[in-house]
Amino acid sequence: MAKPITGDDPKTLVSTAWLAAHLDDPDLRVIDASYYLPGAGRDAKAEYAAAHIPGARHFDIDEISDARSDLPHMVAPAEKFMSRMRAMGIGDGHQVVVYDAVGIFSAARVWWNFRLMGKTDVAVLDGGFPKWQAEGHPVEDMPPILRDRHMTVQRQAHLVKDVTQVAAASKLGDWQILDARSPGRFRGDEPEVRPGLRAGHIPGSINVHYATLLNPDGTMKEADALKAAFEAAGADISRRTITTCGSGVTAAILMLALARLGNEDVSLYDGSWSEWGRFDQLQVATG
């Protein structure tokens, strides 16, 4: 494991002060990756149109996805991701900062998506749009002027796992599996947000609710507090790890936190509980 990362880091997490200082950099690109769970009653596109960080592009997680899959927002093929980013004026040589309207939520998913495509100059905005607005930084309601930018991608297959690989890890115990959902959903006490899914968790997995990694203002905890949160849940921050959640969104928050702690040997189960919970032949644990 590498040493824990503290402070602003353009490959993992940057502060609102850092972004304000770099907002006019010619090779900076800002992405609004806001997304809400079904039933939240919020419209990410409409909110982006009403107000966003100057120059921000909107990244639609549901649209920039694998249209061939019936699972929610599975990661897009490399060619589709590349073409969408080029059309948004995002390409080679850019430093990308991703934010969302919750604090740290869906932005981490898009951070992972870029890394999956071989792009490492990407960071999540710590505290997101709420912190940016609360501090009085500028916002606008005009879409940015987009100029096509060449992008090359090199998919990093080791950063994602499919159901077969996760089932093997669950059986063999050779990977640590961390589940970012709420304790009630993990135990099977609360209903799933998507209909038709069984309740419970992947056998052998450990519950690290993503909210335990965040401060009340939506920023990510510092390294010592992050380490304590993982350890309190029974997780080993040094083990190779698969992260999972409901549909592959908050699992990326766990990956981001582990990257801040120096563990890069982490993969995300893209199908997550939306896939595991629907197939009767896959075992489910409760309690």
The edge-to-edge listing of strands for the beta sheet with 13-14 is: 13-14, 122-125, 95-99, 28-32, 57-58
Does the pLDDT of residue 51 top 90, yes or no?
A: yes
Kindly report, residue by residue over 144-164, the tens digit of the pLDDT: 999 989 999 999 999 999 999
Claim to verify: residue 79 and residue 207 sit in the same structural domain: no
Mean pLDDT of the chain: 97
SS3 content of the chain, % helix, strand, coil (to 5): 30, 15, 55
pTM: 0.97
Position 17 confidence tier, pLDDT thresholds 50, 70, 90: very high
Claim to verify: residue 147 and residue 235 sit in the same structural domain: no
Of the listed ranges 89-93, 133-137, 147-151, 165-169, the least confidently predicted one is 147-151
Kindly report, residue by residue over 224-257, the tens digit of the pLDDT: 999 999 999 999 999 999 999 999 999 999 999 9
Q: Rounded to whole angstroms, how far apart are CA atoms 120 and 202?
A: 30
Q: Rounded to whole angstroms, how far apart are CA atoms 232 and 65?
A: 35
151 classed as catalytic: no
Claim to verify: residue 270 and residue 174 sit in the same structural domain: yes
- From 108, 129, 155, give the residue that closes a domain: 155
Cβ atoms of 266 and 258 closer than 8 Å? yes
284, part of any domain: no
Claim to verify: residue 84 and residue 192 sit in the same structural domain: no
Nearest-10 crossing angle of helices 223-232, 251-260: 130
Claim to verify: residue 46 and residue 123 sit in the same structural domain: yes
In sequence order, the 6+-apart residues with CB closer than 8 A to the CB of 141 are 49, 50, 51, 52
Single out the catalytic residue among 14, 213, 245, 257.
245
283, part of any domain: no
Kindly report, residue by residue over 105-135, the tens digit of the pLDDT: 999 999 999 999 999 999 999 999 999 999 9
Total domains present in the chain: 2
Claim to verify: residue 144 and residue 165 sit in the same structural domain: no
Q: Which residue segment(s) compose the domain that 164 sits in?
A: 158-276
Report pLDDT for 10: 98
